[in-house]
Amino acid sequence: MSDALARWNGLPPDEAAQGILPCCGAKVWAYGMAARRPIVDETALLTACDQVWKSLAESDWLEAFHSHPRIGESSATGSTQSAGWSVEEQRSLGAASDDVKVALAEGNREYEQRFNRIFIVCATGKSALEILEILRRRLRNEQATELHETAEQQRLITHLRLKKWLSR
């Protein structure tokens, strides 16, 4: 068991929920994770993550989505840790051409108008051009399809963040 996981397992429930919240901005998810303790290792942590995530209501998904900054921006409503991870996850966007940055900004606006939430993609390891192509493809989705695609992207982001969280 990692030191971070051992410490987290020993916290009172409210502190444990607050401690894991930067990994996924949905409070119900964080409290659900805290309720599953003790968690013995990374595999068990990721399994619990998926089980809790699948049990959430749409409003909880939306709360998690809201904790992210727009693609290409660095401000978010989540914690300092979450904001730092977002900057790291979107690192490739800094090297994007001005044309790609403008297209992403326009795509973000179109996405928000169409779906009434920000565009979320697991950006780690993707170039700015890849992200733009994904955004354009997902703009063609129906509302329900896109909600589930966004939820899957959030789940992937949460997995990456949990692995970082374990290593601190």
Inform me whether the pLDDT recorded for 41 exceeds 70: yes
The pLDDT tens digits for 2-19 are 889 999 999 999 999 999
In the prediction, which pLDDT does 100 show?
Answer: 87
Pick the catalytic residue: 66, 68, 148, 159? Answer: 68
Cα separation of 165 and 20, whole Å? 8
**Which range has the worst mean pLDDT, 22-36, 91-105, 106-120, 134-148?**
91-105
Inform me whether the pLDDT recorded for 147 exceeds 60: yes
68 is catalytic: yes
Inform me whether the pLDDT recorded for 81 exceeds 80: no
pTM of the model: 0.87
Domain span at residue 113 reads 3-166
Number of domains in the chain: 1
CATH number, domain of 7, equals 1.10.3330.10
